[in-house]
Amino acid sequence: MKKTSFTVRGPDSLRDFSADPRILVLSAMALATGSFGAASAWALLKLIAVFTNLAYSHILSTGPYDLTGMTLGPWSILIPVVGGLIVGIMARYGSDKIRGHGIPEALEAILIGESRIAPKVAFLKPLSSAIAIGTGGPFGAEGPIIMTGGALGSLFAQFFHLSLAERKTLLVAGAAAGMTAIFGTPVAAVLLSVEVLLFEWKPRSFVPVAISAAVAAAWRPFLVGAWPLFPHTGAPLMPWWGFALCALVGIIAGLQSVVMSLTLYAVEDLFHRLPVHWMWWPALGGIVVGVGGWYDPAVLGVGYGNIQALISGQVTMEAAVSLLIGKAAVWIAALSSGTSGGVLAPLLMMGGALGAIEAHILPFGDVGFWALVAMSAVLGGTMRAPLTATVFAVELTGDLHVMPAVLVACVASFTTTVLMMRRSILTERLARRGQHLFYEYSVDPFVVMRVQEIMAKPVETLAASLQISDAVAFFSVVPEELRHKSYPIVDDDNHVLGLVSRSDVLRWTREGCNADDTLREHANRQTLFVGYADELAGALADRMVAADIGRAPIVNRKTGELVGLVAQRDLLRVRARAAREEKERARALSFHG
């Protein structure tokens, strides 16, 4: 008879995390992805400078530029149109993956592309973004660099024998490195990876992503410049009711996020109704950008100078209103047309402009402080990443004192958008492509619930000494609706010898087995599969799937005695129990008895 061991993987073998030595391999590879991300950020910024200087100053230079103070003539309207036409052609005949602001495309590669990004996307995405932004597109460089850094991380991973999960880790590591190199915000980049891109919280992914961001931060002073990018030291001393005002600013920022997101996709729907190929849409969007730039050049390009002016409090009420309306109009028109560019910098500008306007009626704090609070709140609400937005504001400005106020505003904005919108500006685009994301992280009930909590007990069994003829009679007499699919065979010590079903008994009869034989004599023909009462439900479920087992007798790990039975329907109750814990409400504290 087959002997059964009851010492398989006891509870002391369980660990807090699933990490293994492969994390060291990925961490070493993250050194490369961090360098790739930093180098690609440097290249993208230089390309943007080249195309901007070429388009508006007619010189070939990688030097600094400032469109805000320029005086543009009517001819300048054609510049974004030409840029949009070039991007449209590149998207149609190169790769349509370069369309959009980068983050949804990175998410799509992770979700359905097995974290594989084609080499031509790694080349065309930064080039098309540089053309779009350099010809006046009202975008930031962060979205394209997230896609580009992710593409380089993905390409690097594809040279090695890695799992899909490991490729995803290096893709996100490259994306985090690119964002770090652009803004000098390594902690916020890691948080963005966790809140938006990874869909998990595991050492296997967190450690390499953090290393990649740190490497990019080390490269940044040599390639891009020192940080903080937008220094700020103007955090006021708040009265006791100041946080309530921060929450109000956050709620208004959340409403702003809702309006902008809904308007963006409404305009995109209008583009889809046009009787022209989508290749021409960026050029049509470029008309709006050109007109807006002619009216106010401050709305063109990445606009980092505008962000610095807002945080420094150097923007007048009139300029803030013009920036808010103009930037929103050109950004919505351009992004909904399917051109290439990022959303973080425009969100910062539009949120900051509204905060600067609000500062004129708020009872404390200067324009720069409220602009910073509002722009962070808009970012947190629109991206659905409040922790990222909070840390981003601190790293971007170097002002740790603003963190409490920014956190309150970001959480208020996040709450507003979560309640008012089903999806974010990032996930709505994926939903339109048939994909769905669920961003709530929680502990899987299968990895915390023990088998003893879900097993059926007591268990109806058949004695090993039962004869085949009696077993046939048993299955014939018991009504089908009251009969189990199979029964454990147990000896006198209540140890499991196997499982027997009606089909087994009928097969033995057809094969001419002696009717006087006992179940003990035939139990050794079956592969004995048992679960343990102290085993995790998830571990048992995995083993049952691997063994293609529908029912498992549960035994005491030390004594081997049968204590229960688990069927597939019992495993389904794990989810049901977790759902009940979320929804069922009851008063836990009683003053009676």
State the residue range of the domain holding 80: 22-223
194-221, pLDDT tens digit by residue? Answer: 888 888 888 999 999 999 999 999 999 9
The answer on 377 and 299 residing in a single domain is yes
**Residue 536 resides in a domain:** yes
508-563, pLDDT tens digit by residue? Answer: 777 777 777 788 877 755 568 889 998 999 889 999 988 888 888 999 988 889 99
Chosen domain end from 366, 398, 431: 431
Half-sphere exposure of 170 (CA within 13 A, CB side): 34
Q: Please report, rounded to a whole number, the percentage of residues in the chain having pLDDT higher than 90.
A: 48
The answer on 454 and 368 residing in a single domain is no
**Residue 12 resides in a domain:** no
The answer on 293 and 177 residing in a single domain is no
Rounded Cα distance, 166 and 154, in Å: 10
The answer on 515 and 550 residing in a single domain is yes
Rounded Cα distance, 177 and 311, in Å: 25
The answer on 427 and 388 residing in a single domain is yes
* Residue 3 pLDDT grade (very low, low, confident, very high; cuts 50, 70, 90): very low
CATH at residue 299:
1.10.3080.10
- Number of domains the chain contains: 3
Exposed, middle or buried: residue 573 (CB in 10 Å: 0-12, 13-18, 19+)? middle
374-410, pLDDT tens digit by residue? Answer: 999 999 999 999 999 999 999 999 999 999 999 999 9
Residue identified by tokens 């008012």 is 420
Chosen domain end from 378, 400, 431: 431
pLDDT value of residue 427: 81
Q: Which residues are CB-neighbours of 263 under 8 A, at least 6 positions away?
A: 328, 332
Chosen domain end from 405, 431, 457: 431
**Residue 229 resides in a domain:** no
The answer on 360 and 401 residing in a single domain is yes
**Residue 9 resides in a domain:** no
The answer on 305 and 195 residing in a single domain is no
The answer on 544 and 491 residing in a single domain is yes
pTM value?
0.84
The answer on 264 and 216 residing in a single domain is no
**Residue 322 resides in a domain:** yes
The answer on 396 and 480 residing in a single domain is no
**Residue 8 resides in a domain:** no
**Residue 453 resides in a domain:** yes
* Residue 39 pLDDT grade (very low, low, confident, very high; cuts 50, 70, 90): very high
The answer on 213 and 273 residing in a single domain is no
354-369, pLDDT tens digit by residue? Answer: 999 999 999 999 999 9
pLDDT value of residue 428: 81
The pLDDT of residue 451 is above 70: yes
Does residue 567 sit in helix, strand or coil? strand
Rounded Cα distance, 531 and 554, in Å: 5
The answer on 277 and 417 residing in a single domain is yes
Rounded Cα distance, 357 and 361, in Å: 8
Q: What is the DSSP string of 203-262?
A: HHHHHHHHHHHHHHHHHHHHHT--S-SS----PPPPPTTHHHHHHHHHHHHHHHHHHHHH
**Residue 257 resides in a domain:** yes
pLDDT value of residue 56: 92
Number of neighbours of residue 89 by Cβ within 10 angstroms: 15
Cα-trace Rg, the chain: 31
